[in-house]
């Protein structure tokens, strides 16, 4: 979840240039990151953070399978350790898996040595559960500072941010999530959604599952194709 981002609009006027860029998802100031492809594009990449999560990650897998869509899941290492069978199911369904740290701290406040440990423990958890080594990294809350992305790259991972924020962590209905998506989608976007909650397994993500179903149907009908982040990165 990226609750801190919700306040960006409100604080933007007063924020310093550098302070704002630590949290704006598409900013390249603290290192290059992938957040989509250049327009014009008819491709979209759905991404899901903070899982694996019982039972909503599995519900989401059903929806994605029904639409024959591959997505990308940024997993929290400690939840992978708690639900390795769900992480394995995501991998076996052919979705991409990224590293979202072990305990989901805001990396603005994490030392380099602790960041390395967060990344390594999560990669090990994902490897043990799925047999795959994650090649993608997304910082919790979008928070980063100079060096954060460089350390991720040292660990063989490309930093991935996003362009479309659906605010699903606080949404009261699937319609609200879809409205945020519809307002921001231009084509070629990486879209941020959540199959879990960063505090614990068990967060209700039923609105996100329903919104996913509706968004895929709507945009496929308009000629869009849904691809994983690695597929979009080529
Ligand atoms: Zn997160």
Distance between Cα 164 and ligand 1 center (Å): 15
- Give the integer Cα–Cα distance in Å for 41 and 177: 22
State the catalytic residues: 49, 194
Q: What is the pLDDT of residues 105-164, one digit of tens each?
A: 999 999 999 999 999 999 999 999 999 999 999 999 999 999 999 999 999 999 999 999
Is 90 exceeded by the pLDDT of residue 7? Answer: no
Quick one: fold of 3-31+41-233? TIM Barrel (3.20.20)
Distance between Cα 105 and ligand 1 center (Å): 9
The domain locations on the chain are 3-31+41-233
Average pLDDT of the chain, as a whole number = 92
The angle at the Cα of 59, spanning 99 to 162, to the nearest 5 degrees, equals 40
Question: Residue 24 to residues 149, 175, 179: CA-CA distances in angstroms?
Answer: 14, 25, 21
Q: And the tokens for 48?
A: 């899901």
Query: What pLDDT, on a 0 to 100 scale, did the predictor assign at position 19?
Result: 57
Distance between Cα 39 and ligand 1 center (Å): 27
Which of 6-15, 22-31, 90-99, 220-229 comes out lowest in average pLDDT?
6-15
Residues 6+ away with beta carbon under 8 Å from 100: 49, 50, 74, 75, 76, 77, 122, 137, 138, 140
- Residues 52, 179 contacting (CB under 8 angstroms): no
Is 50 exceeded by the pLDDT of residue 12? Answer: no
Distance between Cα 184 and ligand 1 center (Å): 20
Is 60 exceeded by the pLDDT of residue 221? Answer: yes
Q: Which of 143, 112, 192, 113 is nearest to 30 (CA)?
A: 143
Distance between Cα 66 and ligand 1 center (Å): 26
Query: What pLDDT, on a 0 to 100 scale, did the predictor assign at position 14?
Result: 38
* Cα-Cα end-to-end distance for the chain: 27
């Amino acid at each position: 979840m990226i609750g801190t981002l919700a306040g960006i609009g409100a604080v933007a006027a007063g924020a310093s240039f550098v302070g704002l860029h630590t949290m704006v998802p598409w900013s390249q100031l603290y290192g290059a990151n992938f957040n989509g492809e250049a327009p014009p594009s008819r491709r979209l990449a759905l991404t899901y953070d903070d899982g694996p999560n019982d039972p909503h990650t599995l519900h989401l897998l059903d929806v994605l399978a029904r639409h024959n869509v591959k997505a990308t899941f940024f997993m929290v290492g400690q939840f992978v350790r708690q639900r390795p069978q769900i992480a394995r199911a995501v991998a076996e369904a052919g979705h991409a898996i990224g590293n979202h740290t072990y305990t989901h701290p805001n990396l603005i406040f994490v030392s380099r040595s602790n960041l390395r440990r967060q990344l390594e423990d999560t990669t090990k958890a994902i490897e043990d559960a799925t047999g795959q080594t994650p090649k993608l990294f997304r910082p919790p809350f979008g928070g980063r500072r100079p060096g954060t992305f460089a350390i991720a790259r040292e660990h063989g991972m490309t930093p991935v941010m996003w362009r479309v924020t659906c605010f699903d962590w606080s949404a009261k209905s699937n319609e609200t999530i879809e409205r945020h998506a519809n307002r921001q989608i231009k084509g070629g976007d990486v879209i941020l959604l959540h199959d879990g909650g960063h505090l614990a397994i068990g967060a209700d993500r039923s609105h996100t599952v329903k919104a996913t179903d509706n968004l895929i149907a709507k945009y496929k009908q308009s000629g869009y194709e849904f691809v994983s982040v690695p597929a979009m990165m080529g």
